[in-house]
Amino acid sequence: MPILQIRDIPEDLYQQVALAAKTEHRSMAQQAIVELKRALGTGLDDRRKALCARLLLSDRYFPAPRATPEDLIRKDPNR
C-alpha cells in the first residue's frame, strides 16, 4: 500500500484530525484516510448504499404505513 507523509501541518488542523480520530476511535492514519475520502467525495457511495440497505431492513426507521386521518373518518361507524 502506498505511503503518504505530510509535513508542516498547521497545528489547528492537526488538533482537529486528532480530536476526530479520538472521537471516532480511529488512529490518526485511519482518520486522515476518512477525511481525504470525504474531501474528495470518494468512498461515500458504498457507505450510503450500506446505510440505505440497513434502514430498509429495519421497521424501526420505516414503520408500516399507518391509517391516515381521512381513512379513520371514512371507517367511523358513527359518521
Question: Which pLDDT score, from 0 to 100, does residue 45 have?
Answer: 74
For the chain, give the mean pLDDT. Answer: 84
| Per-residue pLDDT tens digits for 61-71 | 656 678 788 88
Helix (H) or strand (E) holding 54: helix 44-57
Question: Which pLDDT score, from 0 to 100, does residue 65 have?
Answer: 74
Residues near 65 by beta carbon (within 8 Å), at least 6 away in sequence: none
- pTM higher than the cut 0.85: no
Domain ranges of the chain: 11-75
Whether the per-residue pLDDT at 43 is higher than 70: the answer is: no
| Per-residue pLDDT tens digits for 30-42 | 999 989 888 887 7
Task: Tell me how far CA of residue 8 lies from CA of 42, 66, 69, in angstroms.
Answer: 25, 57, 62
